[in-house]
Amino acid sequence: MIIKKRSYPFKVYSQDVDFQGKSTLMALGNMLLSTAGYNADDNGFGMKKMHEMNSAWVLTKLALEVEQFPQEYEEVHVETWVEEVERITTTRNFTIKDVHGNIIGNAGSHWVMIDMQTRRIKDLETLEGLRNYADNVASLIESPIKLTPIQGELIDTFKVKYNDIDINGHANSVRYIEWVTNCFSIDFYREKELKRFEINYISEALFGESLEIFQEEIAADDFRFEIRKNGKIACRARMVMRSR
């Protein structure tokens, strides 16, 4: 029997919270990626199957809206489902709930399958049965959009290091979230909290590459970012903030 929606429990531990005792955006990002991995495994399209095909799932777009950040030791449940499967991309959505079943966050994401040797995108039609898991239920928030270029000012420079690299040989998706959220000060986070986060992954960041982060506030509390490598765009991101 095909189960199109599944929910997975998580607990917020000390290493997952910030100086205010609330979950960091990176911790929530890890929950979403873990949920996607668990569900892909349950449906027969997880990492083991991908490696048998010399392939890997790669996240290309993510949008997340948070109504309430969970606190230290709080249990949350992340529900996920595949909305649609196209020839190149598949859309996966998420709802984050507290232990009482209240929705505290929603997310939408786009994924592609790449060949591990050529690093090129593969046709999803080669995954027989994948379309059976699509249920055409949209996310409760606006889908991830294509973020436009910015001018911005240079905020930070650094190199991709050992702990940034995942099993697919490139910088882990959550590292980009860490790099972007670190662009603000402690005082900024005392006054503001995240309302919506978006990111477009454009090209891989590999070990040893030098990266630059540019930032521009295009409207009040609407910040855009570009992470660049050798003049090329690695990713674009957006953080929409609200006052505490």
Print the domain residue range for 105. Answer: 1-144
Q: How confident is the model at residue 175 (pLDDT cuts 50, 70, 90)?
A: very high
- According to the model, what pLDDT value does residue 167 have? 87
Domain count, the chain: 2
Check whether residue 139 and residue 149 sit in a common domain: no
- Of 144, 171, 189, which closes a domain? 144
What is the per-residue pLDDT for 6? Answer: 95
Of 174, 234, 159, which is closest to residue 204 (Cα–Cα)? Answer: 234
Determine the average pLDDT of the residues in 137-160.
95
Query: Are 136 and 151 within one domain?
Result: no
| Whether 9 and 121 share a structural domain | yes
Are 61 and 40 spatial neighbours (Cβ–Cβ below 8 Å)?
Answer: no
161 and 52 part of one domain: no
- Tens digit of each residue's pLDDT (9 = 90 or more) over 191-216: 999 999 999 999 999 999 999 999 99
Q: Give the phi and the psi of residue 31 in degrees, each rounded to 5.
A: -60, -45
pLDDT at position 82, please? 96
**pLDDT value for 128:** 87
DSSP string, the chain: ----EEEEEEE--GGGB-TTSBB-HHHHHHHHHHHHHHHHHHTT-SHHHHHHTTEEEEEEEEEEEESSPPBTT-EEEEEEEEEEE-SS-EEEEEEEEETTS-EEEEEEEEEEEEETTT--B--GGGSTTGGGGB--PPPSSPPP--PPP---EEEEEEE--GGGB-TTSSB-HHHHHHHHHTTS-HHHHHHEEEEEEEEEE-S---TT-EEEEEEEEEETTEEEEEEEETTEEEEEEEEEEEE-
pLDDT tens digits for 20-61? 999 999 999 999 999 999 999 999 999 888 889 999 999 999
Dump pLDDT digits (tens) for 106-115: 999 999 999 9
- End residue of a domain, out of 111, 144, 177: 144
Same domain, 179 and 130: no
Return the pLDDT at 168.
85
Please check whether residues 3 and 56 belong to one and the same domain: yes
Does 2 have pLDDT greater than 90?
no
Residues 61, 16 share a domain: yes
| pLDDT of res. 241 | 98
Looking at the fold, whether 87 and 158 belong to one and the same domain comes out as no
> CA nearest 198: which of 175, 216, 221, 223?
223
Is the domain of 139 the same as that of 158? no
Q: Which of 144, 173, 200 is the last residue of a domain?
A: 144
162 and 54 in one domain? Answer: no
pLDDT digits (tens, 9 = 90+) for 224-241: 999 999 989 999 999 999
Q: Any idea what the CATH number is for the domain that residue 111 is in? A: 3.10.129.10
Q: Are residues 30 and 136 in the same domain?
A: yes
Q: Are residues 103 and 160 in the same domain?
A: no
Tell me the mean pLDDT in the region 130-157: 94
